[in-house]
Amino acid sequence: MAIEGELTVRLDWDGRRVRRVTVRSTRPFAAARVLVGRTVDEAAAMVPRLFSVCAHAQGAAAAGAVEAAAGRVRAPGTHAAREAAVLLETVQEYLRRILLDWPQAMGHDAPAEPVARARRLIAPVLARLASFAQRTDGSAPDAPDAVPGEVASELALLAARNVYGSSPEAWLAAGAGDALAGWIERAPTLPARLLNELRATARTLGRSNVPLMPSPRRDALLAAVVPAMRADSGFERTPTWEGVPVETGALARTSAHPLVAAFRARDGNTVPARMVARLTELAMLVGGLSGAGAQGEDARWVDAVALAPGEGLAAVQTARGLLLHRASVADAHVTGYQIVAPTEWNFHPGGPLVRGLEGAGAPDEAVLVRHALLAVQALDPCVRCQVEVASA
């Protein structure tokens, strides 16, 4: 069984500009109904099967939340497996978005083989990690090496050939400003050509003044988000940070990186800036895969904390942004459950997709739809999304 649904973005258009943007969701938010009454172990095992997108991130969040709520001690090896699985899943998602979905959204042929090759490399590693990541009993029998060196090397080579035209490390080290502009203009790779086209034809597309999500450290989540999760039964549908909609994802996480900061300083939080952020974070992740699953300060993508006896929160960064699971447990059974997905942050009624498309101009309806789909793709919902245009 999978929990799916879809989004519909409605654009009220006067023939020149978008007057109003409405997002309608049919996502069922059925996790509470499905998980309540299950044992802690059953819930942790079930969640990855409920979601076809970011299943490993969802599984890591579920295991962490119920584990914390039940007061169980998380084994270091189990955490390392969760962290590595989430990072590897993010790399896989980024390669698919950059090499398949982005070109298709801009009307270009997309090379399927590099993405298929990445999936063949990653799938067996994720399958091996999952058997450790889903444990909630505190055991850590011979925790695996996170990502085999040969897999990390092959993924770095794949990214160099198909995304950057150089090693990911060299691309990151080239610097910001003129260096990035030169890469966009001269690099032979498809992503560079797509950015060049975007810069020429839709430079400010999707520009939003919605704040970027602050770093979701434990103390920040406890102060800015957890009270609202507890008090507002509809929080998971329209989440806010200290009462304000925010943007989550690669742009929020990499906003301080020189490559991304230079792009944002010139044009703001736009579709091209989000693409640059995705490219930047992919390069950082691929370059660090050999150390994926490390403990300490580097283990920042997966976290879980007991909020109170019988209540646990997990925070997991995914390709799409911050994922939160909050579980209530009594007698080793789930009594309440909340999931706040990245889609609900970015497609909030006052969020970056809506604010970025309001007022957008287009010469005709076909261009409007194409641009809207690009804006959607840059914010990457975890379900299918369609765009409707109505004359205002």
Q: Please report the pLDDT score of residue 297 as a whole number.
A: 39
pLDDT of residue 373: 94
Rounded-to-integer distance, Cα 309 and Cα 324, Å: 18
Is this structure's pTM higher than 0.75? yes
Q: What is the C-alpha end-to-end distance of the chain, expressed in Å?
A: 40
Could you give the strand order of the β-sheet that contains 18-25, starting from the edge strand earlier in sequence? Answer: 18-25, 6-13, 384-391
Q: In this structure, what token pair is assigned to residue 67?
A: 């584990």
Question: What confidence score (pLDDT) does residue 29 get?
Answer: 73
Spatial separation of the C-alpha atoms in residues 162 and 165, rounded to whole Å: 7
* Contact between residue 262 and residue 180 where contact means Cβ atoms under 8 Å apart: yes
pLDDT given at position 111: 86
Mean pLDDT (10-residue bins), the chain, 392 residues: 76 94 84 88 91 91 95 84 93 96 92 95 93 73 72 96 95 81 92 95 95 96 97 93 97 95 93 97 89 49 96 97 97 95 95 96 93 94 90 72
Domains of the chain: 6-137+145-293+303-391 (1.10.645.10)
